[in-house]
Amino acid sequence: MKDQLTILKSYLSAARVNAKGLSVKQKLVIIESDDWGAIRTPSKEILAYFEKNSIDVSKSIYKNDALESQTDLEMLFSVLQKYKGGDGQSAKFTANAIMANPDFKKIKENDFQNYFWEPFYTTFQHYPEHQNNLSLWKKGMDLGVFQPQFHGREHVNIIRWMSALRGNSGRVRELFDFGTTFSGAGDYSFMESFDWDVPSDIEKHKQIISEGLHIFEDTFGFKSKTFIAPCYNWDSRLEPFLASMGIHWIQGLRPQLQPTGSFGNYTPIRHCFGQENNGLQYNIRNCFFEPSMLPSKNWVDSCLAQIQTAFLLSKPAVICSHRINFIGFINEKNRERGLRDLDSLLKKIIKKWPDVIFISTDQLDSYV
């Protein structure tokens, strides 16, 4: 009964999201997965330190999330390759990627006065099971199961984080020494990369985005056509700049979280699928598959109900599923659960809709 109620709620909420916007003829499934390349908890040992020293991560993504390992990638690709749509193409992830992480060594050597970053593929070299990750990303691209798109330079609000480091506030420097940007407070105050405290921060955000997009193009040999702001938080004044940099689609939830200058207080701006603004179009996430976020929930059937609603209302089924669901580097059981549920979800999608087509977000122009 509980599962049936959850499925009904999923169906009804999805109907509201899909009521407006452009229509598509094909049954499209887009799996948008954020945070690839971004650091979180560096190791099992550091997670144990958190727990031993009263740093509560029980309700935080830091409990399971980490930089993806070679095993994480290989096992994910194996599941995706098992399932093909009506056009013969494999299920695939739009892998929304972070292009850089803080260079902790240089920041500390500079006494926290200036910020330094390193490309994400350099960060891979600091971890024990990650040295071949960039080659694996490119292999996933060749297999048609892993298509990188731009998520940001860092998944960190650089201005706020550096201010906290200079002021040595809370436990931020203690945690810095372990190679993490976690604040220890259980909030996301350093994760909203494009939130601002004063409007002039927007110009700094443009510089960060420009540098991140150049790393993306230099690494993969093509421009990202889409962008997803960390934590769905961006100022509309960034949009003309994004369009000038080659971005065409903005991924997001139905409400954009417009900054107001106060962390946690945002003005929601509602969008619908295909809506045009500032030279961009919006792609709206209307299905959710996040087993790590709420382990007790039946994510497979609730997601299927949302997919059904999308198809009935002639919308692509855009599944939001963050990297954390498939990471086992610090907790193998987390990865096992996520991949098991993903396998079940894809199997049921193919059975119910054999003519489904799996695409990445940057392929939308061919269908709209």
Assign 228 to helix, strand or coil: strand
Residue 355 resides in a domain: no
Task: Please name every residue paired with 358 in a beta bridge, in sequence order, or none if there are none.
Answer: 29
Residue 358 resides in a domain: no
pLDDT at 329: 97
pLDDT at 346: 98
CATH number (domain holding residue 311): 3.20.20
6, exposed or middle or buried, with CB in 10 Å at 0-12, 13-18, 19+? middle
Cα angle for residues 260, 237, 274 (degrees, 5° grid): 105
Residue 363 resides in a domain: no
Report CA torsion sign: 229, 302, 94, 47.
Answer: positive
Q: Cα separation of 79 and 360, whole Å? A: 17
Assign 84 to helix, strand or coil: strand
For residues 302 and 344, is the Cβ–Cβ distance under 8 A?
no
Q: Cα separation of 18 and 31, whole Å? A: 17
Residue 93 resides in a domain: yes
- The count of C-alpha atoms lying within 13 angstroms of the C-alpha of 69, restricted to the half-sphere facing its C-beta, is 19
Q: What is the pLDDT tens value at each position of the chain, 368 positions in all?
A: 556 666 666 656 677 889 899 999 999 999 999 999 999 999 999 999 998 998 888 888 999 999 999 999 999 999 999 999 999 999 999 999 999 999 999 999 999 999 999 999 999 999 999 999 999 999 999 999 999 999 999 999 999 999 999 998 888 999 999 999 998 776 667 999 999 999 999 999 999 999 999 999 999 999 999 999 999 999 999 999 999 999 999 999 999 999 999 998 999 999 999 999 999 999 999 999 999 999 999 999 999 999 999 999 999 999 999 999 999 999 999 999 999 999 999 999 999 999 999 999 999 999 99
Residue found by looking up tokens 């071949």 in the block: 132
Report CA torsion sign: 155, 60, 63, 31.
Answer: negative
Global pTM value: 0.95
Range of the structural domain that residue 60 is part of: 2-346
Structural domains of the chain, count:
1
pLDDT at 7: 63
Residue 360 resides in a domain: no
pLDDT at 184: 78
Residue in 135, 80, 143 with CA at minimum distance from that of residue 326: 80
Tokens (6 digits) for 118 = 């390193």
Contacts 24+ apart (CB under 8 A), 47-56: 47/330, 49/178, 55/171, 55/175, 55/182, 55/184, 56/186
Residue 220 resides in a domain: yes
| Residue 326: partners with Cβ closer than 8 Å, 6 or more residues away | 33, 68, 72, 75, 76, 335, 338, 339, 342
Residue 366 resides in a domain: no
pLDDT at 15: 77
Residue 256 resides in a domain: yes
